[in-house]
Chain A
């Protein structure tokens, strides 16, 4: 069974631009969560989607948004990029729902660099 895939693996953007990251969960998994990882803040929860609905949201500004499609694939978007958005963005999938006793499986991450 294929694992969680994330595309692209690396991105370089400039301040003010926007970016869209993609995550394909493990087949059959319906929940996708997104995390931002930086050396200073560690792993921070962004949001969680289940059956195309955002169920939980972390403490990030509105520039960070996401969505989930009917096939459970998820995208996250960051608008008006800032230097501080440079990070490793990780997504995790679980079945049948996250945060409630089910194991999370992570993708390899997307390394975003904002210049």
Chain B
């Protein structure tokens, strides 16, 4: 059974700081790993999708990496802004069903 863990559960940083969010998964037989952000009471917004054959993906200030052998993915946010404040979730997708981590709640302080 796939288990996905995100550490830390919460993070508070000053504006402008670079930061890394971590995601660990137990079963390396995944098709992809996807990062999302969720604002309070809202749905999920897809940030980045990394296919199992890829090592990383970049979009603007975001960079996500994937290391299947170690069961890890990281989301790097450069030059954080108050608008980045949200909960960030990673999801590992094997063939059968997607398993989500519990999320990291990020607060960027102006």
Contact = CB atoms under 8 A, between A and B. Distances in A.
Given A58-B97, A98-B98, A108-B42, A103 B49 contact: yes
Interface stretch (A12-20, A42-50, A73-81): A42-50
A68 to B, nearest CB: 16
Given A90-B43, A109-B43, A111-B41, A104 B103 contact: no
Interface residues of B, number: 26
Nearest to A43: B100
A109 B103 CA distance: 18
Question: Which of B32, B45, B97, B102: most chain A Cβ within 10 A?
Answer: B97
Question: Which of B42, B49, B93, B98: most chain A Cβ within 10 A?
Answer: B98
A100 B44 contact: no
30 contacts: A33-B97, A33-B98, A35-B100, A42-B103, A43-B89, A45-B98, A45-B100, A48-B97, A88-B41, A92-B44, A98-B93, A99-B96, A99-B97, A100-B31, A100-B95, A101-B32, A101-B51, A102-B32, A103-B34, A103-B46, A104-B93, A106-B36, A106-B43, A106-B44, A106-B45, A106-B46, A107-B43, A108-B42, A108-B43, A111-B41
